[in-house]
């Protein structure tokens, strides 16, 4: 991954997701996307499709 790659971390507030997020920041990744469950309900297929169409992340870490 490039340091400026767009990276989405789903579940960034949990134990695993927050560890992934902290590691990415520590390693110098600068374009990390996060959403709370209130902002993006991963059970809502339409909302998820719209999110991915808009944000177009290069990489996804699913820890939710």
- Chain centroid offset of residue 10 CA: 4
Q: Are strands 32-33 and 7-10 parallel, antiparallel or unpaired?
A: parallel
For the stretch 38-46, contacts whose Cβ atoms lie closer than 8 Å and that sit 24 or more positions apart, written own/partner, are: 42/10
17: CB partners within 8 A, 6+ apart: 9, 10, 11, 61, 63, 64
Is the pTM value of this prediction over 0.75? yes
Please write the tens of the pLDDT for every residue from 5-45: 999 999 999 999 999 999 999 999 999 999 999 999 999 99
Which residue do the tokens 């991915």 mark?
52
């Amino acid at each position: 991954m490039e340091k400026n790659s767009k990276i989405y971390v789903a579940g960034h507030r949990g134990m695993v997701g927050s560890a992934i997020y902290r590691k990415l920041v520590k390693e110098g990744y600068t374009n990390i996307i996060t959403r709370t469950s209130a902002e993006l309900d991963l059970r809502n297929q339409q909302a998820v499709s719209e999110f991915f169409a808009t944000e177009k992340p290069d990489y996804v870490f699913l820890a939710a």
